[in-house]
Amino acid sequence: MSDLEKNKDLETKDVLLADDEEYEDDEEGEEYEDEDEEEEDEIEVDTELFAEQILRFSCFSDVPKDKDADDLFDTIFAAYEDENLTEEQDHTVEFLLHIQEEESPFNLSRALEVWNKDDRALFLSIVKEISDSIDDD
């Protein structure tokens, strides 16, 4: 049984992937989001699977391994939203979100350019695991 199959029944976390711009109301000085222009995609993320996979990537080798999956996901996703990750880490997060929700954006060609050899090999290994799990169904 692959790691992907083991984690299918675990709790998931909803996250928003958004192009959210805040606008300031000049008259009242209040900030608000323009709901007509904002595009949001809510996806469910299996935080156990996310944490397990992200710790395998060398670009996340400095991440504390003693955090539980939810805390690790929250920390990494907050850094992702705040654009506080390296480009390699950014593409890793996007890949791991993409394998859980196909609508989540992922730039494969750029990821392959910026990942080191080990992370590219890991990417191929994960894709093979997913492919094998589909073939087994």
Partner residues linked to 31 by β-bridges: 24
> Taking residues 35-51, what's their average pLDDT?
74
Residues 93-123: pLDDT tens digits? 999 999 999 889 999 999 999 999 999 999 9
Q: Is residue 34 part of a domain?
A: no
The model's confidence at residue 8, banded by pLDDT at 50, 70 and 90, is very low
Count of structural domains within the chain: 1
pTM for the full predicted model: 0.71
Distance between alpha carbon 95 and the CA centroid of its chain, in Å?
6
Q: Domain span at residue 127?
A: 43-136
Strands 40-46 and 12-18: antiparallel
- Give the pLDDT of residue 12: 54
Q: What is the CA radius of gyration of the chain?
A: 17
Q: Is residue 19 part of a domain?
A: no
